[in-house]
């Protein structure tokens, strides 16, 4: 695999992804809400224990849980499926490039596009907080880092969908369905399982770790230096089990989601006879 060819394909995919209207629709929505929350948090600074920055960061977590996986899933599912539908993949396969160069080039380009979309929202939120002296750069950067890991994990899941689907519209529909399951099946699913089955703490934490959105949420709340009550029952037990290593465990889980997702997508892409 030649890295030069991978980079050429990645730049092309970056340009293609940045032309995606859905990417910019979600990115602008995230940016507008992030800026509005930063201004609202500063306006109420001093009226709560969290202060302006803490209030903004706590509100941003809920917005990120909606937009970051949506951006990753929509971009990832569209890359392979849309190119397959247009015949672009067959054209690329006719060139002196390998499937691995095509796949990893497209993955890198899509990841850069997702990072650009999120940078818009976090950049505006940072500008909104710049006038405040209550900011914590380390906490904010930790939130950005966990968000990128969540977005890349969602992007990997989107690639799995795109490697399976034959049409862009089908892939997008499947991506939205997965997004709904991850977003609304997280807290509600854990609550339902807890009430109905009364699982052991280990099983409850395993269920939390099985959803990348819940992993991000726990890591982001921990990064805000929240109290144990804020982490919830599963979060409290995870804190008891892993202690100060908890954020590293959570980051490792999100990385594992990304590596596993991209690996599965590549295996499916490599096995298809029609690319």
* Average pLDDT score over residue span 224-247: 68
* Average pLDDT score over residue span 175-203: 72
Backbone angles phi, psi at 192, to 5 degrees: -65, -45
- Between 29 and 39, the higher pLDDT residue: 29
Residue 44 has pLDDT above 60, yes or no: no
- Report DSSP letters for the chain, one per residue: --HHHHHHHHHHHHHHHHT-HHHHHHHHHHHHHHHHHHHHHHHTTTSSSSHHHHHHHHHHHHHHHHHHHHHHHHHHHHHHHHHHHHTHHHHHHTSS--HHHHHHHHHHHHHHHHHHHHHHHHHHHHHHHTT-S---HHHHHHHHHHHHHHHHHHHHHHHHHHHH-SSHHHHHHHHHHHHHHHHHTTHHHHHHHHHHH---HHHHHHHHHTSHHHHHHHHHHHHTT--HHHHHHHHHHHHHHHGGGHHHHHHHHHHHHHHHHHHHHHHHHHH-TT-
Q: Give the model's pLDDT for residue 50.
A: 42
Q: Give the model's pLDDT for residue 48.
A: 44
In tens, the pLDDT along 88-99 reads: 777 777 778 888
Please say whether the beta carbons of 69 and 182 come within 8 A: yes
Rounded CA-CA distance 233/191 in Å is 11
Paired tokens of 161: 């969908």
Rounded CA-CA distance 86/194 in Å is 46
Residue 183 has pLDDT above 50, yes or no: yes
Residue 130 has pLDDT above 70, yes or no: no
In tens, the pLDDT along 141-169 reads: 888 899 999 999 999 999 999 888 888 78
pTM: 0.85
Length of the chain: 275
Backbone angles phi, psi at 10, to 5 degrees: -65, -40
Paired tokens of 24: 């910019």
Paired tokens of 8: 């050429």
Rounded CA-CA distance 247/249 in Å is 5
Q: Which of 140, 83, 137 is nearest to 106 (CA)?
A: 83
For the chain, the straight-line distance linking the first and the last C-alpha, in angstroms and rounded, comes to 17
Q: Give the model's pLDDT for residue 220.
A: 83
Average pLDDT, the chain: 79
């Amino acid at each position: 695999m030649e890295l030069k060819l991978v980079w050429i394909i990645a730049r092309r995919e970056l340009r293609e992804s940045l032309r995606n209207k859905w990417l910019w629709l979600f990115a602008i929505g995230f940016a507008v809400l992030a800026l509005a929350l930063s201004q609202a948090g500063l306006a109420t600074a001093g009226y709560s224990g969290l202060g302006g920055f803490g209030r903004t960061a706590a509100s941003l977590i809920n917005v990120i849980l909606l937009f970051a996986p949506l951006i990753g899933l929509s971009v990832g599912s569209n890359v392979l499926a849309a190119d397959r539908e247009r015949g672009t993949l067959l054209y690329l396969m006719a060139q002196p490039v390998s499937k691995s160069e095509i796949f990893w080039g497209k993955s890198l380009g899509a990841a850069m596009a997702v990072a650009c979309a999120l940078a818009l929202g976090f950049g505006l939120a940072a500008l909104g907080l710049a006038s405040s002296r209550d900011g914590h750069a380390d906490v904010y950067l930790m939130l950005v880092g966990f968000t990128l890991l969540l977005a890349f994990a969602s992007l990997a899941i989107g690639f799995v969908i795109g490697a399976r689907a034959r049409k862009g519209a089908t892939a997008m529909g499947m991506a939205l369905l997965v997004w709904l399951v991850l977003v609304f099946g997280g807290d509600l699913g854990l609550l339902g399982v807890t009430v109905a089955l009364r699982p052991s703490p280990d099983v409850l934490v395993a269920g939390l770790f099985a959803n990348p959105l819940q992993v991000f949420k726990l890591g982001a709340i921990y990064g805000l230096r929240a109290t144990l009550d804020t982490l919830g029952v599963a979060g409290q037990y995870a804190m008891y089990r892993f202690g100060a290593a908890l954020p590293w465990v959570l980051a490792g889980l999100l990385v594992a989601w990304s590596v596993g997702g991209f690996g599965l997508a590549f295996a499916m892409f490599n096995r298809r006879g029609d690319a």
